[in-house]
Structure 1
Amino acid sequence: KVVDTLLERVPGITIATDIICGFPGETEEDWEMTMALCRKYDFIELHLSQFYPRPGTPAARMKKVNSREVKRRSRELTNYIESYLPH
């Protein structure tokens, strides 16, 4: 809703985002919602990173998402971004 309002009220605005792929607890449904958001807005500036558990943090103790799944999701989003951004 916030992004829609900004796009409506600020002509020419560029919306950027950061996405962490594979945060503990991330489900396939969560990922599909992330992809739907990316498809809706085609972010011109998007930084994608894979979750890395920093020692001593609560997230480091949480159940990890399967590494193959994290890589698949990262590739999926990277391929999508490359499909519309100029190289």
Structure 2
Amino acid sequence: QTFPEKFAAKHLVERSHDILLLRPNRSETWCARYYYHPEKQGFSYSSWTKFVRDNKLREGHVCVFELIKGVSKAMMIVHVFTKVDGRFVLLD
């Protein structure tokens, strides 16, 4: 899972670090390792794979990452959508 370069440059620290992932209305959290390289930024394969597996994500699902600012540790709320009858529906 990678992030657009402009988003990463504007909103994320230019070093590798952990980002806490949360899902709305769920008590579980996931610690995803964010790696930074000047040419590519994103989550490490192993931490992202655990998030995918635990949330039963599959091809066709769309993840929207909401960066939470003003907290001591980097956090993102992940909203997951799927397409049903031509419309995107939020998954719990």
TM-score range, shorter chain: under 0.3
Larger relative contact order (CA 8 Å, sep ≥ 6)? 1
User: More helix per residue: 1 or 2?
Assistant: 1
Give the structure with higher Rg (CA): 1
After TM superposition, the score normalised by the length of structure 2 is 0.24
User: More strand per residue: 1 or 2?
Assistant: 2
